């Protein structure tokens, strides 16, 4: 099976980086702590200048970023430009930073007179950002924007599984910032372990649940707070009362971008039994409209990122149980190609339903009653995203109110991720904490509560020796 040469993930990898030694990691963390102690990063104008420098660097490097993502994931140029969307995060931060960083006054009480109470956002210090391979540039830069805006120093660990992009990230950071302020470290497991042994003021991790547990365990040794952006099996419920052609177009697009290697891709469909035949046929037609008769020849379809990830996803097609492949099913390990595949007659006990697929396989299950579908979703770990397609407002509201997920989208997939004013994050097994827009600033900030009292008046209601009138006053204040 031939591949498009310019997009092949088999292209030559950049020279591998030697693992960072423990001593070099310790020295880097120490140098960042010394720089943070100077107080420069606390200046809002300094932060704004660094955000502007980051924005310009992304603009300057955008062609190389797109090329690197294409080399790592076989991404079409259009989808590779999703990585440049981190510029929108920078623009939002630049526009709003002075407002975000300003102390906020909160209501006071009469017994505190004379005083004022405020909440002061302050940077945490030195933070670690561990990035994934599926959107290797965007998911490195987006949290970095929050870290810079909040006034921190940061160390980035790009994923070694996307080596071309990791090299570009490292060069961009090295040419834009001094390492004592912002640094990127390439390397594999040994480098990650060396970093996790250090004490940081915050760790931001995007990746799988298993590695997230390791990160959280390492952070616990230092009482380091963590934000974990994980994943899970994001369900997509399709009602019988729906505009099917639009719904299918949005579902297929959400599943196929980056060959399904998206943390919020619809992982499986729960469709009203009455419309399942029409839905399956509509999916078949939509795939043909998007990718042609042979998606392997389409310039618009990505590849699996590595042999290991190919093998994991392909194995799900080798163990389908009684499920039936109604669309796709073709694989080619030499090209890391897995065809967009739809499975029908899937059982909840099948291998494909036991873990997040993270590939272009879409199991289709059916339901008769909505409460049956909701019960199925609620019996599983809370997903990172949930999708519901319906024209019925009551149906939509029931799904939203009776299920729990990191985020949700009604009558679309993926697109809630694109709004900077919507915090993005998981719940339960799909993660903790959130970011995007102000949520990114908040994630990398400590909100210090400050009570400022005047000395010109000092009422005696709280001082000993205590008298009955003081007790009566206290009861009224409390009550």
Is 190 a catalytic site residue?
Answer: no
Non-local CB neighbours of 477 within 8 Å, separated by 6+ positions: 109, 111
**Active-site residue flag, 186:** no
DSSP 351: G
Q: Calculate ∠ Cα 374-378-381, nearest 5°.
A: 140
Q: Is 147 helix (H, G, I), strand (E, B) or coil?
A: helix
Burial classification of residue 109, based on how many CB atoms lie within 10 Å of its CB (0-12 exposed, 13-18 middle, 19 or more buried)? exposed
- Of the candidates 186, 229, 356, 366, the residue annotated as catalytic is 229
CA dist 247 and 389 (Å) reads 7
Other Cβ atoms less than 10 A from the Cβ of 177: the count is: 20
Please give the C-alpha separations between residue 427 and each of 93, 133, 310, in angstroms, as whole numbers.
Answer: 25, 22, 28
Structure tokens at 62: 């955008």
> Got the DSSP string for 399-437?
HHHH---SEEEES-SSGGGG-TTS-EE--GGGEE-EEST
According to DSSP, the residues that pair with 182 across neighbouring strands are 154
Q: Regarding beta strands 337-338 and 385-389, do their DSSP bridges make them parallel or antiparallel, or are they unpaired?
A: unpaired
Contacts of 420 (CB under 8 A, 6+ apart): 88, 89, 92, 436, 437
Sheet with strand 341-344: strands edge to edge: 324-327, 341-344, 361-367, 268-272, 235-238, 385-389, 407-410
Q: What is the C-alpha to C-alpha distance for residues 93 and 152, in angstroms, rounded to an integer?
A: 14
- DSSP assignment of 59-78 equals HHHHHHHHHHHHHHH---HH
The alpha-helical segments, DSSP class H, found in 74-137 are: 77-80, 86-101
CA angle, 52 as apex, 48 and 53 as ends, to 5°? Answer: 115
Q: What are phi and psi of 361, to 5 degrees?
A: -110, 130
Task: Extract the tokens encoding 109.
Answer: 């009480």
CB atoms within 10 A of CB 385: 29
Active-site residue, from 153, 256, 263, 409: 263
Catalytic annotation, residues: 229, 263
């Amino acid at each position: 099976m031939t591949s498009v040469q310019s997009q092949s993930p088999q292209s030559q990898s950049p020279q591998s980086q030697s693992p960072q030694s423990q001593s070099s990691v310790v020295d880097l963390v120490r140098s960042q702590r010394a720089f943070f102690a100077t107080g420069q990063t606390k200046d809002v104008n300094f932060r704004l200048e660094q955000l502007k420098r980051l924005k310009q660097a992304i603009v300057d490097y955008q062609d190389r970023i797109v090329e690197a993502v294409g080399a790592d994931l076989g991404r079409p140029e259009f989808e590779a430009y999703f990585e440049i969307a981190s510029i929108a995060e920078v623009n939002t931060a630049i526009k709003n930073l002075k407002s975000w960083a300003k102390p906020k006054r909160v209501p006071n009480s009469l017994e505190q007179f004379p005083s004022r109470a405020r909440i002061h956002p302050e940077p945490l210090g030195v933070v670690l950002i561990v990035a994934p391979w599926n959107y290797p540039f965007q998911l490195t830069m987006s949290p970095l924007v929050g870290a810079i805006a909040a006034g921190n120093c940061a160390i980035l660990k790009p994923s070694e599984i996307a080596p071309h992009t990791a090299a570009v990230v490292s060069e961009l950071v090295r040419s834009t910032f001094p390492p004592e302020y912002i640094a990127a470290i390439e390397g594999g497991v040994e480098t990650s372990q060396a970093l996790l042994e250090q004490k940081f003021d915050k760790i931001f991790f995007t990746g799988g649940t298993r590695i997230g547990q390791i990160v959280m365990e390492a952070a616990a040794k230092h009482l380091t707070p963590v934000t974990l952006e994980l994943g899970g099996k994001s369900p997509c419920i399709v009602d019988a009362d729906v505009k099917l052609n639009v719904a299918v177009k949005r579902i297929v697009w959400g599943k196929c971008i980056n060959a399904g290697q998206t943390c919020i891709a619809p992982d499986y469909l729960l469709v009203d039994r009455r419309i399942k035949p029409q839905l399956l046929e509509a999916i078949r037609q939509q795939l043909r409209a998007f990718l042609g008769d042979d998606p392997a020849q389409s310039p618009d379809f990505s590849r699996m990122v590595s042999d290991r990830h190919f093998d994991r996803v392909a194995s799900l097609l080798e163990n389908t149980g009684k499920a039936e492949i109604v669309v796709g099913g073709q694989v080619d390990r030499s090209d890391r190609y897995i065809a967009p595949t739809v499975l029908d007659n899937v059982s909840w006990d099948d291998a494909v339903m036991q873990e997040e697929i993270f590939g272009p396989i879409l199991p289709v299950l059916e339901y008769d009653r909505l409460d049956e579908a909701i019960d199925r979703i609620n019996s599983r770990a809370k997903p990172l995203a949930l999708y519901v397609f319906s024209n019925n407002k009551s149906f939509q509201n029931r799904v939203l109110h009776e299920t729990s997920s990191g985020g949700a989208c009604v009558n679309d997939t993926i697109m809630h991720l694109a709004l900077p004013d919507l915090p993005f994050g998981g719940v339960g097994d799909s993660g903790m904490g959130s970011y995007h827009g102000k949520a990114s600033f908040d994630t990398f900030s400590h909100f210090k509560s400050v009570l400022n009292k005047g000395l010109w008046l000092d009422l005696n209601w709280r001082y000993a020796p205590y008298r009955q009138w003081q007790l009566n006053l206290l009861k009224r204040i409390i009550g």
